[in-house]
Amino acid sequence: MRIGVLTSGGDAQGMNPALRAVVRRAIQRGASCSAIREGYAGLVSGEITPIGWLDVSYILHKGGTDIGTARCAEFRTLEGRRRAAENLMRAGINRLAVIGGDGSLTGADTLRREWSRHVQDLLSSGRITPEQATPSLYIVGMTGSIDNDMWGTSSTIGSDSALNRIVDAVDTLTSTASSHQRSFVVEVMGRRCGFLAAAAAVATGADFLLIPEAPVPDWRAELRQAVLAGRQQGRRKSIVLLAEGAISVTGEPITAAMVKAALEADPGWDTRVTVLGHVQRGGAPSAQDRVLSTRLGVAAVDALMAMTDGAEPLLMTTAGASVSPRPLMHCVAQTHRTGAAIAACRFDEALADRGPEMTELLDIYRRSAPTASGKPRRTIVVANLGAPAPGMNAALQTVVRLAASEGVGVLAAQEGLRGLAEGKLRRLSWHDVDGLPSQGATILGTNRWLPEADDVRLEAALAEADGLILIGGFACLTAAQRLRETLPVVIVPATISNNVPATDRSIGSDTACNVICEAVDRLKQSAVGSRDRVFMVEVMGRRCGYLAWTAGIGSGAEVVYTHEQGIFLSDLIADIAALQESFTRGKSVGIVLVADGASDAYDTHTLARIYGEESGGRFDTRVCVLGHLQQGGRPSPGDRVLASRLARVAVARVLDGESGLVGEVDGAVVVTALAGVTADALNRRPLARRVDGPGVSGLAPTEA
């Protein structure tokens, strides 16, 4: 069986990881693979070449697509598609993995529907032999689009990386805007989809947002009012995010020049325009895009190989970290329906089609508008617990601002529960939390201190509060169980280890994965002049292997060691032998990721000595302990958005007088009652969580 793979349409970060996964999974499953270069243009011209395991080495971290992409007018013609069919049959390919946008996926389905006609015509004209003729073409698609505009999937390949570029740019612009008391209009990509702009608005705390799905009535007046309200709260800068397809309520396009003119109608409002353009498409893919694309590629090959006569084309879609197939053309049709709804000004329909996350983002953005302080009707307390995690500040900002929109005051405990017990409380206003999402660690401070069961100081400190929100790690479960009889307690999981149960992701874990992947990228580059080297990279997580496995997928590590799997001498011997073989076949650098609590007997330095001793001189070893680098730095956009989404529900829950743990499960924000949260308390991790996905962990071991 031979599988063809192509990338088509606009490029997107993550296409290369998807390509790598398709090729390696096909080989794992006993199939061969061919690359169709330059998209449909290469399919028409016959640029089809075999591609093997080593051909996709060292592309995991690269942006764009190594096999090229191009738009092809000729493929839109019947004769162009006939030549494409001829080239596929001559190459022995009748199963096609397509990585591209809705136009590319529609083109693949058109070729599939015409396939039998092409077979007959090519046979009758003698352009193919009966042996080359195949009765069916099987298609599986993966959406490669930074716009995140495909119906039925929570994330598309490239969208997280593009969001990273946008947020980095806005964070950078914020400092110069503040210096000059200046407004910036930032135009972002997205075609007719406002996801990137909406997510960036939440991640950066933008003052105003213009997107196609939710136009603003009298947008000029509301724009000026929003900027003025921010200035009255003490803001020295204003950021307006404009999706490139933004329109008014009557459907007229809104341009950056129009927004600039509206702002400068007020004397003294100095305004600049920044159009990010193709910067959003470029650069290395984020950790999330690497992992997502790898999972999609593995699932796509499995689906292709399972297809039989009459199988309809499939699109591999995501719901959070889960991957599942949907009917391809149904997803494409629904996507086109959303575009038609926007064109017809049926905005409620269009917004509903974008899915619940888009609605959540808009709700957070709207309710985060500047709010005048007054005497609160109710009060909630917020505290951090455990180690610092990037994104804690974003959660705090959302708690304060959404509570203020309900007329509720927020008291923040300094230095965790110990500070709360000592009465170190500070009332926070809208302005106090301005600009927090981009700041690492936490302005409140945090520690691991837990109260004794009979400690009455916390009860006294919380006597006047209507609820408590704990932002932190595994220790929050213990604290919540002790305090929930006193008042409603809601947990917002924030820990880079992602070891809190009842959630697929914890705040901070995405930032940590990005740090690990970037570090491994640099280690690989450092080894260019020193061949035959294995880096033993120790990552955090203790007895929860989420970071190690997820970063292992994202970085292309050859071996990953975690406590859940254990480390056994027989495994070490097999892993070393596999590395020796791959170095003999041309490998120059290997990566071994070790969770810092993987084994009491084999710590990272011991493993490095064993690898070095048993390598027979085939390679040498170096140890890199990333340590607290994984907890520091600016939070990723993914962590900022997750923090805001979880905090939004936490505020609503605690104001309803109910306790619980707020988490994300299959892409949706859910609340689990504290009594229903089960965990492996001894090892401080969930009872079970699959982090690698079927076949994913086997894609790396012989990379060269």
CA distance 474 to 472: 7
First to last CA, the chain: 25
Specify whether the CB–CB gap between 9 and 101 falls below 8 A: yes
Q: Look up 466 and say whether it is catalytic.
A: no
State residue 565 phi and psi, 5-degree precision. -85, -30
Percentage of residues of the chain with pLDDT beyond 70? 97
Query: Which CATH code is given to the segment(s) 2-157+285-340?
Result: 3.40.50.450
Contact by Cβ (8 Å): 396, 442: yes
Q: How confident is the model at residue 340 (pLDDT cuts 50, 70, 90)?
A: very high
Burial degree of 120 (CB within 10 A; 0-12, 13-18, 19+): exposed
Asked if the model's pLDDT at residue 381 lies above 90, the reply is: yes
pLDDT, residue 504, reads 97
pLDDT bucket at 697, cuts 50 / 70 / 90: low
Cα separation of 452 and 463, whole Å? 18
Mean pLDDT is lowest, of 30-44, 420-434, 446-460, 500-514, for: 446-460
389-400 pLDDT, tens digit per residue, is 999 999 999 999
Looking at domain 159-281, its CATH architecture is 3-Layer(aba) Sandwich (3.40)
Report helix, strand or coil for 288: helix
pLDDT score at 704: 34
Catalytic pick from 11, 102, 109, 147?
A: 147
pLDDT higher than 50, residue 98: yes
In angstroms, the CA 17 to CA 19 distance is: 5
Which tens digits make up the pLDDT trace of 565-603? 999 999 999 999 999 998 988 888 999 999 999 999 999
pLDDT at 702: 41
* pLDDT exceeds 60 at position 199: yes
At residue 696 the predicted structure's pLDDT band, cuts being 50, 70 and 90, is low
The percent of residues above 90 in pLDDT, for the chain, comes to 87
Q: What pLDDT is stored for residue 234 in this prediction?
A: 81
The more confidently predicted of residues 265 and 209 is: 209
- Mean pLDDT taken over the chain: 94
How many Cβ atoms from other residues are within 10 Å of residue 582's Cβ? 22
Instruction: Return d(Cα 517, Cα 591) in angstroms, integer.
Output: 11
DSSP 502: T
CA dihedral for 68, 70, 74, 77, sign (positive or negative):
positive
CATH code reported for the domain at 509-632+693-698? 3.40.50.460
Mind spelling out the 3-state secondary structure of 610-661?
Answer: HHHHHCCCCCEEEEEECHHHHHCCCCCHHHHHHHHHHHHHHHHHHHCCCCEE
- 3-class secondary-structure state, position 663: strand
Q: Cα–Cα distance between 55 and 50 in angstroms, integer?
A: 9
Provide the pLDDT for residue 698.
Answer: 58
Q: Check residue 356 and give its pLDDT.
A: 96
Determine the topology of domain 378-501 in CATH: Rossmann fold (3.40.50)
- Can you tell me the distance from the alpha carbon of 385 to that of 388, in angstroms, rounded to the nearest whole number? 8
Which band of pLDDT confidence, cut at 50, 70 and 90, is reported for residue 247? Answer: very high
Q: What is the pLDDT of residue 703?
A: 40
Lowest mean pLDDT among 134-138, 169-173, 219-223, 452-456: 452-456
Query: How do the domains of the chain map onto residue ranges?
Result: 2-157+285-340, 159-281, 378-501, 509-632+693-698
* DSSP track, 191-202: TT--HHHHHHHH
159-281 and 509-632+693-698 share one CATH topology?
Answer: yes
Strand partners, 157: 144
For residue 694, pLDDT over 50 is answered with no
Q: What is the DSSP letter of 669?
A: E
Query: What is the structure's pLDDT at 459?
Result: 87
Distance CA(536)–CA(498), nearest Å, equals 22
CB 170 within 8 A of CB 200: yes
Residue 692: pLDDT above 60? no
User: Predicted confidence band at 689 (pLDDT cuts at 50, 70, 90)?
Assistant: low
Nearest alpha-carbon partner for 146 in 38, 346, 9, 311: 9
List, in order, residues 6 or more apart from 562 with CB less than 8 Å away: 541, 545, 548, 549, 595, 598
Question: Which one is predicted more confidently, 456 or 444?
Answer: 444
Q: What is the DSSP string of 368-419?
A: TS-------SEEEEEEEESS--TTHHHHHHHHHHHHHHTTEEEEEETTHHHH
Helix axes 356-367, 195-204, angle to 10 degrees: 40
CA torsion 616→620→623→624, rounded to 10°? -140
Q: Give bridge partners of residue 143 from the DSSP assignment.
A: 100
Q: Which residues of 440-468 are buried (b: 16+ CB within 10 A; e: fewer)?
A: bbbbbbbbebbbeeeeeebeebbeebbbb
pLDDT band at 701 (very low <50, low <70, confident <90, very high): very low
Q: Among 175-189, 206-220, 571-585, which is the least confidently predicted range? A: 175-189
Write the pLDDT tens digit of every residue in 308-329: 998 999 999 999 989 999 999 9
Indicate the pairing of strand 314-319 with strand 322-327: antiparallel
